[in-house]
Amino acid sequence: MDANGWDARYRSTDLVWSAGPNAFVAELCADLPAGRSIDLAAGEGRNALWLAERGWTSTAVDFSPVAIDKALAIAERRGVTIEGVVADLDDYVPTPAGYDLVLVAYLQLPDDRLAPILRRAAAAVAPGGTFLLVNHDAENLEHGYGGPQDAAVLTTPDQVVASLGDGFTVERAEVAKRVVSTDDGERAALDTLVLARRFG
């Protein structure tokens, strides 16, 4: 979907995603010391807002101006500050070594587009900083709940790790279960989860 498509989706309802952070982001970032963070493909900013509330200097990047406007409006309502950037990640270069946390959550692109974005994302991690990606995993198609049904935009942990390049200690690279509440009870979605630290 292009930026216009995402704009239409974000315009169509109050919140497309949850108000609170993704469960893995909350679990894995809660104990990180606050610093500079950048959320690439931030959508309405659920993760960037949560980080800002925890003291991070938080940047949210998305190519949908509607999404970024929503994130900024929510920030104002919640009394926090985030920097909103409208940019296409196919071209955008986050400041190299500029962030203590680089987050990519559910950016659904085929690998020929995702890999260069992840390389630039990894290069943006400062020494000692953290890279975290969560995305719908390839296994979700057959064995998990919901998510895109287009195999081309699903990932595997190995694929993501290969895109990072050298200079990282990979702490987690796995298919992780995310519990989703549905009208029919709880279901498990399968996500690619990669957590890596840049050598200090």
Ligand X SMILES: C[S@@+](CC[C@H](N)C(=O)[O-])C[C@H]1O[C@@H](n2cnc3c(N)ncnc32)[C@H](O)[C@@H]1O
User: Which positions touch ligand X (CB under 6 A)?
Assistant: 6, 17, 22, 41-43, 46, 62-64, 67, 88-90, 105-108
Sequence-distant (6+) residues with CB within 8 A of 134 are 22, 24, 25, 104, 105, 106, 176, 191, 192, 193
Q: What is the C-alpha to C-alpha distance for residues 91 and 116, in angstroms, rounded to an integer?
A: 10
Pick 41 or 52: Cβ nearer ligand X: 41
Pick 182 or 199: Cβ nearer ligand X: 182
Shortest Å, Cβ 150 to ligand X? 13
Q: What is the C-alpha to C-alpha distance for residues 55 and 121, in angstroms, rounded to an integer?
A: 22
Shortest Å, Cβ 52 to ligand X? 15
Sequence-distant (6+) residues with CB within 8 A of 187 are 145, 146, 179, 180
Per-residue buried b or exposed e for 106-142, using 16+ beta carbons within 10 Å of the residue's own CB: bbbbebeebeebbebbbbbbbeebbbbbbbbbbebee
Shortest Å, Cβ 69 to ligand X? 12
Pick 15 or 162: Cβ nearer ligand X: 15
Residue, CB closest to ligand X? 43
Pick 85 or 188: Cβ nearer ligand X: 85
Shortest Å, Cβ 91 to ligand X? 9
Pick 21 or 157: Cβ nearer ligand X: 21
Shortest Å, Cβ 102 to ligand X? 13
75 close to 81: Cβ distance less than 8 angstroms: yes
